[in-house]
Chain A
Amino acid sequence: MIKLQNISKNYRMGEVEICALCGVDLDVASGDLIAIMGPSGSGKSTLMNVLGCLDRPTSGRYLFEDREISAMSDDELAHVRNAKIGFVFQSFNLLPRFTALKNVEMPLVYSGVSSQARTERAVPVMEKVGLGDRMYHKPTELSGGQQQRVAIARALVNNPPLLLADEPTGNLDSRSGAEILNILVNLHQQGVTIIIVTHDPNIAARCKRIITLKDGGIISNETVP
């Protein structure tokens, strides 16, 4: 499904150039559940941004469903993010002015789905993450765990094949974190490909594969038995 070949991402810091990713090769198969681990500054976030088509690599090839991402225009990247990738962030990143339901509908707005059809599609997804009774609440009226479930619903509403979660439980207490993790594992069982960036070994333990980064390179890539 995803093929990274010799991907590098360099940043210029004053006079020196630093590589956040230094020639990463990675294959992700459809239906995978991957944990990406590593210390701060190891390049985890940069890798997520590249995988999520938010950032372009400085060099290397990125194939997503056999399409060359590195050659795409901004608009084409926006389309991939809209239809193919769901994002779940550590800090939820919901729009505070809108209700939970409106937040979940948001990606459909940019796919050109009509207002009525949007609601019809968003409601079942909200029920799936257990928020059927919180649809008309604003994010500020929801607990952290509930907010993260809204974010997951938003990521799923367009049925993307890939879900990227950047420390999804980092801002949650352990019980909410466990709930979120259960939802993600369930989704994986339904066939969604999921990549989770995490510090938490307990989360990593439930994934099928653990990739460890250090200094912009992959130092281990092991399948969990």
Chain B
Amino acid sequence: MNFLEIFKVSLEAILSNKVRSGLTMLGVIIGVMAVILLVSIGEGAKAYITQELTGLGTNLLIITPGKTTTKGGFHPPSAGTVRKLTYDDSLALKRRAWLLSDAVPIVIGTGSIKFQNKGRDTMIIGTSPEFERVRNLYVETGSFVTQGHVDSKEKVIVLGRKVKDELFGIENALGKVVTVSDARYRVVGVMHKKGMSLGWDVDDVVFLPVTSGQELFDTDSLFEILASTPRSEDTERAISQIKDILIRRHAHKEDFTIQTQGAMLETMNTILNVLTAVLGGIAGISLLVGGIGIMNIMLVSVRERIREIGIRKAIGARNRDIMAQFMIEAVTLSGVGGIIGILLGVGIAFLIPLFVTVLPTSVSLWSIVTAFSFSMAVGVFFGVYPARKAALQDPITALRYE
């Protein structure tokens, strides 16, 4: 008896009980669908983070005060800073680290911005002209902070799109004077609309010259220095150059941390890989439950057809023919369920971003292949016991079975 014959017999048995077969398959369908869907959400998040981090600007190096031993990741600035990073540090890097294209000083704080009777609490960033280029954020009207503004500690301000809209509406903001914590600043530029990036609203922010920012926050230190290298191959050498320069300036102590974009990406990917694995694992459990459903139905099916098994044995079916018949039935149930599950999973994964924009998905081939092979394996694993039970029926008892 060849494979195709047994397959036809199994298929007929499945089709003769459509509702039951369908319900049995549902377990596998949901399982496979869940695996593909959840993995695609995990992968989508990874792709999103990668894209956003790369979108920060190319080959970014972030220098923060304080030495941390962990590599990469986000962490608050260390409290036990021996020596702060200063504006002069950033100037020294810009002057002497020839592998760097830019070294941008950053101070960050929050404050209340007022214009006439309107006000808004927002994030204030003090920086230098190169910020535009390094972070890929550009001014739309007017100008960004210039070197002249920085040098003369001028009280000028560049508004993020949302801040401008909130305070001025459709009015022109350029040249107007706004108040930040009782100090008056002249608006010189308005930024392009950029939207959300990594959960941070890039439009809800204002920029000052770094020197004015330090004055506003009453500090002589920097929050961080953003540096960038023109070529990614130079990253390692650029790091050692930064270290050389800063260690010499900081009394021969390495009291700062340099993070690369790659390291941040790696950390995020590690976290998201774990997340994806956990999601996939949970979905895998539901696939396992689907497999138990198949075993259950196959046991019922064997019991129902004991007489058929007896008849088939009496006319010459060998044990392995009976075994194959029920095995193929189980594997067909799980296989067809797997295919339907894949189609539904992939379909829904493509539909989700259309309706829920914050949930990016990415369907990967490996998740499809894994889910399908797993569903087939479930069919084989949970089919063996019922099929063996069928094959080992004693023909006489089976023939007499009512």
Interface residues of A (CB under 8 A from B): 49, 52, 54-55, 74-75, 78-79, 81-83, 87, 89, 93-95, 97, 106-107, 109-112, 115, 154, 158
Contact = CB atoms under 8 A, between A and B. Distances in A.
Contacts of B319: 74-75, 78
Contact of A110 (B12, B13, B321, B395): B321
A162 to B, nearest CB: 13
Contacts of A158: 316
B83 interface: no
B11 to A, nearest CB: 12
B313 interface: yes
A112 B315 contact: no
Given A54-B395, A93-B307, A112-B2, A106 B314 contact: no
Nearest to A89: B399
A87 B315 contact: yes
Contacts of B16: 97
Contact of A109 (B1, B13, B313, B399): B1
26 contacts: A49-B396, A52-B314, A54-B313, A54-B395, A54-B399, A74-B319, A78-B313, A78-B317, A78-B318, A78-B319, A81-B314, A81-B316, A82-B317, A83-B316, A87-B315, A89-B399, A93-B311, A94-B311, A95-B311, A97-B12, A97-B13, A109-B5, A110-B321, A111-B316, A112-B2, A115-B5
Contacts of B318: 74-75, 78-79, 110
Given A110-B321, A112-B2, A93 B399 contact: yes
Question: Looking at A87, A109, A154, which has the most chain B CB atoms within 10 Å of its CB?
Answer: A109
B314 A110 contact: no
A82 B316 contact: yes
Nearest to B395: A54
Interface of B: 1-2, 5, 12-13, 16, 307-308, 310-321, 395-396, 399
A107 B2 contact: no
Given A94-B311, A109-B5, 10 more contacts: A54-B314, A78-B318, A81-B315, A93-B310, A93-B399, A97-B13, A107-B315, A107-B316, A109-B1, A110-B1
A54 B5 contact: no
A74 B393 CA distance: 12
A111 B308 CA distance: 18
Given A49-B396, A54-B395, A110-B1, A87 B314 contact: yes
Residue with the greatest number of chain A CB neighbours at <10 A, chosen from B318, B319, B320: B318
A95 B316 contact: no
Residue in A83, A94, A97, A107 with the greatest tally of chain B CB atoms within 10 Å:
A97
A189 B29 CA distance: 59
